[in-house]
Amino acid sequence: LYIEPAVLIRGGAEGLSEDEIATVLGEVDRQVCYELSERFTVLAEPERGVATVRAAVTRIRPTNMAGSGGGAV
């Protein structure tokens, strides 16, 4: 199984910096990789005849501190 890096759909991140977007996409990549690696062998490079997984973030918005803390529980 090969996992492509997560992408952000155009216009899906109002009010976020490039660094914040990169942080979110990096976390999506880590979580997808972790979950799939529990069940499949994950490859570093795509290969012929191997399944490919693609993830796209369609919308992210900034939250306040209370919202961030509540989401972590």
Cβ within 8 Å of residue 6, ≥6 positions away: 25, 28, 29, 32, 55, 56, 57
- The 3-state DSSP class for residue 56 equals strand
- Percent of all residues in the chain with a pLDDT value above 90, rounded to a whole number: 73
What's the chain's average pLDDT?
89
In this predicted structure, what is the pLDDT of residue 35? Answer: 97
pLDDT 10s digits, 36-70: 999 999 999 999 999 999 999 999 988 776 655 55
Which residue(s) pair with 52 in the sheet?
2
User: Tokens 């509540």 map to which residue?
Assistant: 70
